[in-house]
């Protein structure tokens, strides 16, 4: 279920890789970005971290600063090539890993924390419970998990073009070559995200920024 949209999304990010980070230079998002970058390291201090869908590694240098080890993963070598070229803390390693399988030897864990930036929003709602269970199976008891993602802001976000029967929302995006892509992008509320996690998460913290949200919790 939702396999085509998941594959389309992966291909879309390959095509967008070279200029993906433009989105991080939108003037109205700068205050949020600086606050989030500053707040991330403490979540992972002293932990062995699995990063899902690292992309071009915008968050990695900040989040990995005080981690013991950090495995940054993505399905696409094209996006990871940009991340690899960055100045990174010494503990950062990379691996090509499909987030929906997490079956690469490097991703077996157990890790004591996990992080994913702008990934939750792209997972079809009907796949989120299964995907969370897969991720949690790679983590040790008590592991910390942090997700951050975009909030919908009318003046800054691409408009939602449709909603499907499962409640997933979509955007129609145009790349620099003129190609059009329908991209699944969900904007959960605090309550919806917490409901997805259920009792397996405790010490749940939801931080609402103007253009982003961040969810952090510990596994039982």
Ligand X SMILES: C[S@@+](CC[C@H](N)C(=O)[O-])C[C@H]1O[C@@H](n2cnc3c(N)ncnc32)[C@H](O)[C@@H]1O
Listed ranges 61-69, 92-100, 103-111, 133-141: which one lies at the site for ligand X (CB under 6 A): 92-100
Nearer to ligand X by Cβ, of 77 and 191: the residue is: 77
Residue 55 in contact with ligand X, rule: CB under 6 A: yes
Among residues 44, 58, 120, 147, the one that binds ligand X under rule CB under 6 A: 58
* DSSP codes joined into one string, the chain: --HHHHHHHHHHHHHHGGGGGGGGG-GGGHHHHHHHHHHSHHHHTT-EEEEES-TT-SSHHHHTTT-SEEEEEES-HHHHHHHHTS---TTEEEEE--TTT--SGGG---EEEEEEES-GGGS-GGGHHHHHHHHHTTEEEEEEEEEEEEPP-TTTSPPEEEE-TTS-EEEEEE-TTS-EEEEE-----HHHHHHHHGGGEEEEEEEE-SSEEEEEEEE-
Q: x-or-dash pattern for ligand X, window 104-123, by CB under 6 A?
A: -------------xxx----
Residue 75 in contact with ligand X, rule: CB under 6 A: yes
Closest residue to ligand X in the complex (CB): 55
Listed ranges 48-56, 103-111, 151-159, 170-178: which one lies at the site for ligand X (CB under 6 A): 48-56
Residue 53 in contact with ligand X, rule: CB under 6 A: yes
Nearer to ligand X by Cβ, of 16 and 144: the residue is: 16
Nearer to ligand X by Cβ, of 59 and 94: the residue is: 59
Residue 99 in contact with ligand X, rule: CB under 6 A: yes
Which positions touch ligand X (CB under 6 A)?
9-10, 13, 53-55, 58-59, 74-76, 79, 98-100, 117-119
């Amino acid at each position: 279920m939702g396999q085509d949209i998941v594959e389309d999304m992966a291909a879309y990010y390959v095509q967008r890789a070279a200029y993906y980070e433009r989105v991080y230079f939108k003037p109205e998002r700068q205050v949020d970005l600086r606050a989030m970058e500053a707040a991330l390291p403490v979540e992972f201090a002293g932990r062995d971290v699995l990063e899902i869908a690292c992309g071009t590694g915008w968050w990695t240098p900040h989040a990995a600063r005080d981690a013991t080890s950090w495995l940054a993963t993505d399905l696409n070598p094209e996006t990871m090539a940009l991340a690899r070229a960055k100045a990174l803390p010494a503990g950062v390693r990379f691996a090509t890993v499909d987030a929906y399988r997490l079956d690469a030897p490097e991703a077996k864990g157990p890790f004591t924390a996990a992080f994913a930036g702008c990934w939750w929003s792209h997972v079809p709602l009907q796949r989120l419970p299964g995907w969370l269970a897969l991720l949690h199976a790679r983590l040790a008891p008590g592991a910390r998990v942090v997700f951050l993602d975009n909030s919908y802001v009318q003046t800054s976000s691409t408009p939602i073009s449709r909603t499907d029967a499962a409640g997933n929302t979509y955007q129609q995006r145009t790349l620099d070559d003129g190609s059009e892509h329908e991209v699944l992008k969900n904007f959960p509320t605090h309550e919806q995200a917490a409901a997805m996690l259920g009792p397996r998460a405790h010490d749940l913290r939801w931080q609402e920024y103007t253009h982003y949200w961040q969810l952090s919790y510990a596994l039982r």
